[in-house]
Amino acid sequence: MTISNTEKRECSPTHPGEILREDFMPDFGLNATSMAAALGVSRQTINEILRERRAITPAMALRLSRLFGNSPEFWLNAQHAWDLWDSEQRIQKELSQIKPLNAA
């Protein structure tokens, strides 16, 4: 059985900053300052991620996975899904002008 994954997504994926803010920080009793200290990064970096103004980089994914005991792929996949959705929203008009090619 094949599951098609070609339909457009109706709503945005969850930004990793929201995942941190809503799911991880309360469960571990962290605030931005304590999380920044635990990760060895600036509080500004954490605040920008939490406010969804900064992306999760591979280095940050490694730090978060070490801190929370999950995989770096979890964080990168969440960021990747959000980036693709956001990009599609921004360049939707240009994308609609590209005509798909058919194999000969």
What CATH number does residue 26 fall under?
1.10.260.40
- In this prediction, residue 1 carries a pLDDT of 64
Number of folded domains that form the chain: 1
Domain assignment of residue 40, given as a range:
16-96
The larger pLDDT score, comparing residue 6 to residue 19, is at 19
Question: Would the pLDDT of 7 be above 80?
Answer: no
- In this prediction, residue 19 carries a pLDDT of 98
Contacts of 39 (CB under 8 A, 6+ apart): 46, 60, 63, 64, 67
Q: Is residue 76, in this structure, part of any structural domain at all?
A: yes
Q: Is residue 5, in this structure, part of any structural domain at all?
A: no
pLDDT, one tens digit per residue, over 27-86 is 999 999 999 999 999 999 999 999 999 999 999 999 999 999 999 999 999 999 999 999
- In this prediction, residue 103 carries a pLDDT of 86
Q: Is residue 6, in this structure, part of any structural domain at all?
A: no
Q: Is residue 2, in this structure, part of any structural domain at all?
A: no
